[in-house]
Each structure stands twice: as structure tokens, then as C-alpha cells.
Amino acid sequence: MRQAVRFLGIAAVSATGLAHADPYSEPHLDVIPRTAEEAARIAAVTAPPTDFSTASQFEERSAGAATVRVRGNADAFSQPSGNIPFEEELTFKVGNGLFRKLWVSSPSSTLASDGLGPLFNARSCQRCHIKDGRGHPPEHGDDNAISMLMRVSIPGGYVEKTAELEAYLATLPDPTYGTQIQDFGVQGYPAEAQIDVTYTEEVITLSDGETASLRRPAYTLTDLNYGPLHPDIMLSPRVAPQMIGLGLLEAIPAADILANADPDDVDGDGISGRPNIVWSTEFDQYMLGRFGLKAGNPTVRQQSADAFAGDIGISSPLNPNGAGECTDLQVDCQNAIHGDGDDRVHEIDDEILDLVTFYSRNLAVPARRDVDDPTVLRGKEVFHATGCASCHTPSFVTHRLENQPAQSFQLIWPYTDLLLHDMGEGLADFRPEAQANGHEWRTPPLWGIGLTEQVSGHTYFLHDGRARSLLEAILWHGGEAQKQRDAVIDMPSADRDALIKFVESL
């Protein structure tokens, strides 16, 4: 009998009785195989551009037929896919209501809304993904609207290579604090800790006499209410990413993602992206990681269930513990009254989880802006010439799907390869996650990034929001992207400005 303990998107699995499922299979998708003719058409339409005098065909439709027109307000990321059937718009709206729902503690007369915590980071999904956009670090705005959390873990030993996995350094939850710090608690249960961040400024000299200043963060946990941290604790601050286009990223063929992987840098370009293989509680097998800042989750549904459990303390069929993230050492939390055990069994049931998943899959990507602007076109040329597209892969065509018409066979422009890359010492959190090491991050999608200020009210980027502009985000790149970062520093200021304007047009 196989025994597995899931933590941080990985599993410790006994050597006996393991079902050797293909980790690159896609049980979450009902795929209609491509024909040879379709494969040839896809190869042609996703080939790198050679003419930068005009926009590529269909480039303004970032999400294919799912693209929506750009709204001029903070709702730009909150629209349903442009191609969902009319009858599914109600499903989207109900999912939106659940995404925005404020959960309350148990016991409560509102049985459909109880189960919060007892320890939590937010009372709703929307509190972190404000307007479905990007989060921000603690020093921005009201402390009650912070959308940063702190992942924690301790070293778990070296795991040898198996038929499914490359060898990797495992991690375990902190014995007291689990896998993340909850900075809120329901009445009678103190929060675990608070996140404190300080910055030091570092001036970078650019070409043409320009300068830029980077702020280097230092994180500490204060007000520890459940005892000391483990001496080998590893911390990884995270701000909530934007939510658009997730269903389309989920529908990219695994084979197309793997085609961009080059873990041994065989082509010698200095880029060695590799996939993260993670454990799926939904399908009871290893799968390709696609979601999260280190690609630690394989599907939108599991990502949603894990956020409910870790961030809000809400149990579900995929995470049945009514105490959420509370550890065995947090006895009072484990023994608290939870919202499970009624007709739903868990605090949310399959129906609610499916509705939130549908909503998350169908948050639309707005159309590109200024695709034919001469400066944007010059920036696009600089983007490709500098090698940015080596990781930020511009386009894919999604699987043809039997039961997801909104995501089926769409030419999309997410500007990500969904692979792990070593981003250097400056961005390292030194904390492994599944097969991702402490220097690696998943390439984030760039679509919609130019609307961040409009939607989220700030221009903070990277995994912890340290970058205050797109230029600062680029200047933090190191490791595999060191060459590209240095090229941006050295290029004429007009080209650098054009590059930024191109990225803002996405």
C-alpha cells in the first residue's frame, strides 16, 4: 500500500507500490489530439518574428478569442473570458461571489460561510488578489490590505532520483508554524506572527548618464505567539500574483512547455529552464507544475484548494483538515470548533470549489495596446534581440479540448515558458519547493503587466514586490538572465525606454 504525505507541493512516497504515472500526462484536460496539419500551422504561427516593422498577426488578441477589450478602470482584470457561452456567465458571476465572500469563524448561524481559520491570512480570496490583480508588500498602504504572505519550511533531506523525479532537496513544514505564517487569528486565537521588512537602497549606473535605485529587502518575523522558529527555518516572502488567463496557461500542452526546457544548456545560450514536477492531490500522481511563483501546483483547482486551506483556513475535498494550516503543536487551534461536519462534510464542498475554479480559469486577459506604435515595435525588437524571449516565450496554442471551449485551441501571448530558471543570488529565497531550488523561480506571465497600476494602484513587481517599476524588475535579474540584465544597462537609453514601453503594452 502506498503512503504519501503531501507538503509544499511535493510528496514523500514509500518505495513500494508506487504507481508510475507519466508526470507529463494531463489528466485535468480532455484533449483532442492535434493533427499533423494543425501541428504545422501552430509551428508557423508561433515562430519567432523576423519583421519588426509591424505587429505580428493576431498579436493584439493576447488570449485569442478569450480576449476582452480593455476597460479604463480597476475592473480591467475582472471580466469573463470573451468567448464563454452566455449561459456560463452566471456560473462565472457565482464564482466571483464566492471569490469575494467574507468567511466567518465557527460556530455561526451562517453555516454556508463559516469555518474561517482559526489562523488565517485573509478572510476572502479577493483580500489578497485585490481586483484580481497583483499584491503588494507591507509598507504599501493600509496594513489591513496587505497581500503578502511568508512561506516557511525546514530542510527535509536529499531525495534520490526516481522514475518520475529528478533528485532534489526536500523541505518539511516548520514543526510549529507549518508551511506559511498566518498573521491573523479569529477571536481567542492569536496570530502566529507579523512580517516586518526593511530596505536598503543600491544605486545602479546605466548608460547615457542615467541611474536607477534598487531597494534590497530584509525580512524578519515579529510577535511570534507560538514559540521560537526552528533554527534552520527558511523564509520566502510572496505577494499575490495577478489572476488573468489561468485557464489558458493550464491548457498549454505539456509537450510544448517541455520543448523549451534545456536543463543542461545544450544550446549554450546560458538559459537552462527546467520543469517542476509536483504531487497532485487531485489526481494522486506526479504532474507538471504550472502555478505559483515556483510552479508548485499543477492545476487551477488544486491551486484554489491550497489557497483556501493555507490562506483562509477553509477545508475542502482536496484539503480536508478543518484546522487549515494549524500544526499538531498548535493544540488549541486543532481542537477549535470548525465549520466542517455538516451536510457539506468540508467547509467548502466540490460544488463551491468547482465554481471558484471556473471563475479563476475564466478571468479574461485584456487586449494589447499600441501594438503598431513605432516605439513599441522598436521595444519588441530589442526584447527579442536581447534574449528576453528565451524565458518569456511570447506565444503558444492551447490544446483542442472537448469540454472547455473557452480555452480550446487558442493562440495566446502570455510571454512565459512556465519553466524554472536560476535568477541569481539577488533574487534567491534559498528555499526549495518540490524540485525548484532556492535560486529558481517560474517565469511569470507578462500579459496585462502594463495595467498593474490601473488595477492594483501600484507598480510593484517580482515575487515580493521589491521592484517599484518594470526597469527595477529587469535590473534585479541575475543568474541565467545576467547577460540580458547587463545588456539593458549598457544599451542606449532610447532602446531601454522602448523596451519598457513594449513591456507596458502587454
Q: For the chain, give me the number of helices (H) and strands (E)?
A: 12, 18
CB-neighbour burial class of residue 6 (10 A; exposed 0-12, middle 13-18, buried 19+): middle
Query: How is residue 359 written as a grid cell?
Result: 471563475
**Helices (H), ranges, 207-336:** 246-250, 254-258, 300-307, 331-334
The residues, any chain, with a CB within 8 Å of residue 209's CB and separated by 6 or more, are none
**In which band, very low, low, confident or very high, does the pLDDT at 20 lie, cut at 50, 70 and 90?**
low
In this structure, of 34-43, 339-348, 349-358, the range with the lowest mean pLDDT score is 339-348
pLDDT at 11: 41
Q: Looking at the 3D structure of the chain, how many domains does it have?
A: 1
CA distances from 504 to 141, 174, 370, 486, 497 (A): 24, 40, 10, 20, 11
Angle 4-10-13 from CA coordinates, rounded to 5°? 30
365, 83 contact by CB (below 8 A): no
Q: Is residue 331 part of a domain?
A: yes
Q: Name the nearest CA neighbour of 430 among 222, 172, 152, 199.
A: 152
**Is the preceding peptide bond at 138 cis, omega within 30 degrees of 0?**
no
Query: How is residue 288 written as a grid cell?
Result: 507538471
Q: What is the mean pLDDT of residues 159-174?
A: 89
Q: What is the mean pLDDT of residues 25-53?
A: 97
User: What does the pLDDT look like over 231-272, one tens digit per residue?
Assistant: 999 999 999 999 999 999 999 999 999 999 999 999 999 999
User: What does the pLDDT look like over 380-438, one tens digit per residue?
Assistant: 999 999 999 999 999 999 999 999 999 999 999 999 999 999 999 999 999 999 999 99
Q: Is residue 302 part of a domain?
A: yes
Q: Is residue 202 part of a domain?
A: yes
Q: Is residue 21 part of a domain?
A: no
User: What does the pLDDT look like over 118-131, one tens digit per residue?
Assistant: 999 999 999 999 99
pLDDT at 340: 75
**Helices (H), ranges, 408-481:** 452-456, 470-475
pLDDT at 18: 46
CB-neighbour burial class of residue 13 (10 A; exposed 0-12, middle 13-18, buried 19+): buried
Q: Is residue 281 part of a domain?
A: yes
Average pLDDT, the chain: 92
296, 435 contact by CB (below 8 A): no
Query: In 27-147, where do the E strands start and end?
Result: 31-32, 119-120
Q: Is residue 108 part of a domain?
A: yes
**In which band, very low, low, confident or very high, does the pLDDT at 468 lie, cut at 50, 70 and 90?**
very high
Q: Is residue 288 part of a domain?
A: yes
State the Cα–Cα distance between residues 177 and 215, nearest whole angstrom: 29
**In which band, very low, low, confident or very high, does the pLDDT at 7 lie, cut at 50, 70 and 90?**
very low
Using the 8-state DSSP alphabet, how is residue 312 labeled?
A: I
Q: Is residue 10 part of a domain?
A: no
Read off φ and ψ for residue 382, nearest 5 degrees: -65, -40
pLDDT at 145: 52
DSSP H or E stretch at residue 200: strand 194-205
Query: In 310-419, where do the E strands start and end?
Result: 396-397, 400-401, 411-412
**In which band, very low, low, confident or very high, does the pLDDT at 109 lie, cut at 50, 70 and 90?**
confident
Domain containing 477 equals 29-46+56-505
pLDDT at 21: 83
User: What does the pLDDT look like over 195-220, one tens digit per residue?
Assistant: 999 999 999 999 999 999 999 999 99
Q: With a cut of 50, say whether residue 8 has pLDDT above it.
A: no
